[in-house]
Amino acid sequence: MKNSLKTIIFALLLGSFMTTTNIVKANDHDSVTNEVILVRGAEASFANFMTKNAKKLVKTNDWNVFTEVVTLYNVSPSKFMTLSADKKEAFVIAVKNIEVKLNKVRGSEAKIWKQKVTKTASVIKVLWNYQSSVESKDIEQTFAPEAIEMLGL
């Protein structure tokens, strides 16, 4: 009786441990595939992937610009929105170079990372375009009262 009770307890503990292990593995895999863009935390996983699969690219200025902009996007939105036009242009070029490299890397994980890079870059570009359109409207509004005064209206 004691042996069968110990066997049942051992089997339950072993089964519980195996289930927990599989859940952790599934969650790790899901975190790579479910996130749409490179959010905080995923950027570290992407950097690890690139370090293993694109050693030369990781040593370039393109990689530094890309990681800097994505990190600012995740950590400090105010600094992200005030980046210079040169830095924004360098980011767009860096994204193109990273996408080219990811196209050359084999495997489904590389394709997933490429999609995330592309979507992240798209979101960032939309934010920058929105900012520039808002700024241009602010400029128009600041000149409009002066023009009205000059016309005597």
pLDDT at 137: 55
Distances (CA, A) of 133 to 10, 62, 143: 65, 27, 16
CB 62 within 8 A of CB 98: yes
CB 31 within 8 A of CB 59: no
* pLDDT mean values, one per 10 residues, the chain (153 residues): 64 54 45 61 86 91 93 87 92 95 92 92 89 60 54 55
CB 116 within 8 A of CB 37: yes
CB 94 within 8 A of CB 58: no
Within 8 A by CB and 6+ apart from 5, the residues are none
What secondary structure letter does DSSP report for 105? S
| Cα gap 103→98, rounded to integer Å | 9
Backbone angles phi, psi at 36, to 5 degrees: -85, -40
| Cα gap 151→99, rounded to integer Å | 53
129 — alpha (psi -120 to 50), left (phi > 0) or beta?
A: alpha
pLDDT at 14: 53
Q: For the whole prediction, is pTM greater than 0.85?
A: no
